[in-house]
Structure 1
Amino acid sequence: MVMFTKLLLAHLIGDFLLQPNRWVIHKEANRAASKYLYYHVLLHFLVTMILLWDLSYWNIALVIAVSHYVIDLAKLYTTPLFKLKSIPFFIDQALHLVVLYVCAYYENLPEHTIALFEKLDWPLATALIFVTFPAAIIMGKLLEAMSDKIELDHKSLPNAGKYIGIIERLFVLMFIILDRWEAIGLLIAAKSVFRFNDLKESNNRKLTEYILIGTLLSFGLAIIAGVVYINVR
């Protein structure tokens, strides 16, 4: 675990703390011809070696540096194919994490991977998945008849409400697991404050009732998921 933590820290330092924005722009414009791509890879090698502080691990640092070059180069050439730049970014980061994991546990990789899955808290994973998109879909079905009667006179970000609901349910689930029920009340109060001006300006009773029902339903599903998890873990 210590090895993986050091490798992860080196990655975070090299990819985020020590990579100026001008490097990123130059790499995107020049790709393989960018000198900053090679500076970036060399930087990763040096930071990894410094954090490991053992010359015998030079081969691990080299594997990470070479794989980082290949992954970054692939991202630079495939990014224009994606409408959202966040998609290749997260794919890139996921591949880097896989490489770090393999390098940290290469001596007993199959055994460690199997043990990792065996120790996984499956009820927690199920609860986390449930309060995200499944709960959002369930709420959409339950509120479908009401949503058709709501007239919105303002524009909002696409799917903003859905993602706000997902985030709030994740917070509620976390508070329940940590046995901090009072924090749920604070979360409801905070959301009410943010919504107050919108509801006041709209002067729309149907919208107010719809938001209230949706909020209570969202919190209710998260609370149910949290209570079930606590009782089955």
Structure 2
Amino acid sequence: MLLFLKFLLAHILGDFVFQSEKWVKNKEEKKIRSSKLYFHLGIHAFLLLIFLQFNLQEYWLGFIIILVSHFIFDVSKLYLQKKKTKRNWFLIDQVLHILALVFATSIYSDFNLSTINVFTSKTLLLIIAITMITSVSAIIIKVFITQWSPESKKENDASLAKAGRYIGILERLFVFIFVATNHWEAIGFLLAAKSVFRFGDLTSSKDRKLTEYILIGTLLSFGLAILIGVLYSYALHLI
């Protein structure tokens, strides 16, 4: 379990935290000729080495399997995905990566790592959950609602740059904390508070598409946070 969590955390950090949108676009344009593709693999290799404490003598096979499979899956996605199938290939790609991590972990039926206290199962699980709440959820929501993104008719938009992204991250963190601490009633309060603040925007805009867009984004954000919180609480009891 501990080894898999290390592999998973390295994957999440490499794929979602340390990979910018510019890198993604560069890979989509140049595909296998993109230098960002190889920088991306290099980051994954470095993260794996850190979490394995540079112990390649024992884990060299799993290390190679993860990197080679990651390269194959990423390149395949770049060539196979189309504009309309991007979301599908995003999900397929992530599922394949997770399966590769499971396979690499299964190679080591008996392993005994003397790690620092920071690398306990509970700590790694919490880091993974927080990363899923912040970076991964933001990307998933963007992937799924981009198709409905309404065009802004206001030339001078008074909203802060990337304010929506940070508001979403904060609300998901709050929901996650409420679920993890078993304070479900606070989620209703948070949802009501957001509705009050958003009410002015929705009524002044008189735009049904914008209203529906905001509702979909909000429900996705809260739904993902609740799901991650429930899975975290369940996994915590298994450790």
What's the TM-score, normalizing by structure 2?
Answer: 0.48
Q: Larger RCO: Structure 1 or Structure 2 (Cα < 8 Å, ≥ 6 residues apart)? A: 2
Higher gyration radius (CA): 1
How high is the TM-score relative to the length of structure 1?
A: 0.49
